[in-house]
Chain A
Amino acid sequence: SSELTQDPAVSVALGQTVRITCQGDRLRSFYANWYQQKPGQAPVLVIYAKNNRPSGIPDRFSGSNSGNTASLTITGAQAEDEADYYCNCRDSSDNHLEVFGGGTRLTVL
């Protein structure tokens, strides 16, 4: 089982705002990254170090953190945002290992 917990599935109406969450104690200490994965494709980095967007990622994607919960927010979800989303962060201060959340399947209605 993953030590970063994500809801298995979330849905959002087209054009509305959706928040995808990731919970885990390590998020109190380390930044979360978020990856988008569409069927049959490799993951794509959409948010890194809590709230930074790589070049080319639309500004409707944003990240935040509160306590042991990291969030990915899509403001004005588009049909092309339908995908699986994975959070990821360092494992602990004693090592430089990484863990992934179990993933959230986002459906845009």
Chain B
Amino acid sequence: QVQLQESGPGLVKPSQTLSLTCTVSGGSISSGSYYWSWVRQPAGKGLEWIGRIYTSGDTNYNPSLKSRVTMSVDTSKDQFSLNLSSVTAADTAVYYCARVIRGTHYASGSYDFYYYYMDVWGRGTTVTVSS
């Protein structure tokens, strides 16, 4: 059974770069046609989608974070990573990594649209931005 584990510094100074890694265990990050996502949640608030990466390196980022976000994948280590630059206190949150499945909806036998859902989540890691 696949498990995900986030790791990285729990405290980051303002203006610096937040760097987190998600390690995939119980299966290879390259097996199956999975995508890999990051989601965050400030204390007492809702979930915010940060972005998604495929093992090919293709990415999709939340437009509100796009200028500061970089995701990467290391298939040799079964890991994927998140870098968020120029952090402020507003980036303080629990950060989750998740496995993503992409499905295809067909209409009249032809491709209509792709859909995504996150079926396996890490436990989350708290990152505080403070000097």
- Interface residues, chain A, with chain B CB atoms under 8 Å away: 2, 29-31, 33, 35, 37, 41-45, 48-49, 54, 86, 88-90, 93, 95-103
Give the dominant DSSP class at A's interface: loop
| Distance to closest chain A CB from B57 (angstroms) | 15
CB-based A-B contact count at 8 angstroms? 70
**Contact assessment for A95 and B60 in the assembled complex, using a CB-CB cutoff below 8 Å:** yes
Whether B46 lies near A42 (C-beta < 8 A) is no
The main secondary structure of chain B at its interface with chain A is strand
Q: How far is the CB of B93 from chain A (nearest CB, A)?
A: 13
Q: Is the CB of B118 within 8 A of A45?
A: yes
**How far is the CB of B130 from the nearest CB of chain A, in Å?**
22
Contacts of B106 in A (CB 8 A): none
B contacts with A, residue count (CB < 8 A): 25
Contact B46–A2 (Cβ < 8 Å): yes
For residue B115, which residues in chain A have a CB less than 8 angstroms away from its CB? 30-31, 49, 89-90
Whether the pair A101, B121 counts as a contact (CB closer than 8 A) is no
Say yes or no: B124 contacts A42, CB within 8 Å. Answer: yes
Most chain B CB within a 10 A radius of its CB, from A2, A29, A49: A49
Chain B residues closer than 8 Å to A93, beta-carbon distance:
113
Give the distance in Å from the alpha carbon of A45 to the alpha carbon of B118 in the complex. 7
| Cα distance A102–B122 in the bound complex, in angstroms | 21
Residues of B within 8 A of A (CB): 39, 46-49, 52, 60-63, 96, 101, 103, 105, 113-119, 121-124
A29 to B48, CA, bound (A): 21
19 inter-chain pairs at a CB distance below 8 angstroms, sorted by A residue, are A33-B117, A35-B47, A35-B118, A42-B96, A42-B123, A45-B119, A49-B115, A49-B117, A54-B119, A86-B46, A86-B47, A88-B117, A88-B118, A90-B115, A96-B116, A97-B62, A97-B63, A100-B46, A103-B46
Assembled-state Cα–Cα distance A35/B124 (Å):
15
The answer on a CB contact under 8 Å between B62 and A96 is no
Q: How far is A42 from B96 in the complex, measured between Cα atoms in Å?
A: 8
B101 CB to nearest chain A CB (Å) = 8
Across the interface, B46 reaches (CB within 8 A) one of A90, A95, A96, A101, namely A101
CB atoms of B60 and A43 under 8 A apart: no
